[in-house]
Structure 1
Amino acid sequence: MMVTVKPIMIENYPFIAVSVQLPKTNLLAVANEKGYIMCGALDVNLLNEQLKDRGIIAGRAVGVRTIEQLLEAPLESITIAAEKLGIKVGMKGKDALLKMI
């Protein structure tokens, strides 16, 4: 198992990319201090229901295997707090991150 944490820039804004290689899958996330996008492992329903009071800004893309794919993939689901920022289902991951600036 390998864990990679590295800074990345999206249109001159800094983010942190995290990749965890697990047996038969990868756990992927890109975040800043305001919110994050993540691979299919993210449970958006949990964030919207049981953790709603936290106002977590997050989006989920499925079928991605790399950070690059996560940035380009359309978001399959988003949190209520993300929607309030103008993030929409179907938006590319990198575009959603730029709404979190």
Structure 2
Amino acid sequence: MLIEQIRLEGGCALGLRFEMQKYPLLVIRAEKGFLMCGYLNVNAAETLGDTAAKVKGVQSFEDMLKAQVVEVTQLARELGIKPGMTGRETLEKMF
């Protein structure tokens, strides 16, 4: 597992990378929520009351920052996060 600090304008997020068989499982955690890759489930995050957004087709933290968000939880919507935003824009709203 790789743990990396990701510096953004609003603060420092924590990137977690776990190598799977073909593609990595990626999460970037900010103060108020997290950005997840396609391996993870927005419905589960919603049920657990998390603030989360999902991007797909990514293989690195930089890919996640550039990718467009495809799904968000209700708590993420309340922070002004919506599908179509970049991962970077999304994380900035999570500080």
- In the superposition, the TM-score normalised over structure 2's length comes to 0.93
Q: Distance in 2 between matches of 1:100 and 1:81?
A: 10
1:16 to 2:9 alignment: no
1:37 to 2:35 alignment: yes
Deviation string, structure 1 residues 34-73 (Cα, Å, up to 9, x no partner): 110010012112222x32xx2x110000101111000110
Q: Is the 8 A contact 2:45 2:51 kept in 1?
A: no
Calculate percent identity across the aligned residue pairs: 35
Aligned equivalent of 1:26, options 24, 27, 34? 24
Task: Quote the RMSD (CA, aligned, Å).
Answer: 1.2
What 5-or-longer segments of structure 2 have no aligned partner?
none
Q: Distance in 2 between matches of 1:82 and 1:12?
A: 16
- In the superposition, the TM-score normalised over structure 1's length comes to 0.88
Aligned to 1:94: 88
Tell me the matched-pair count. 95
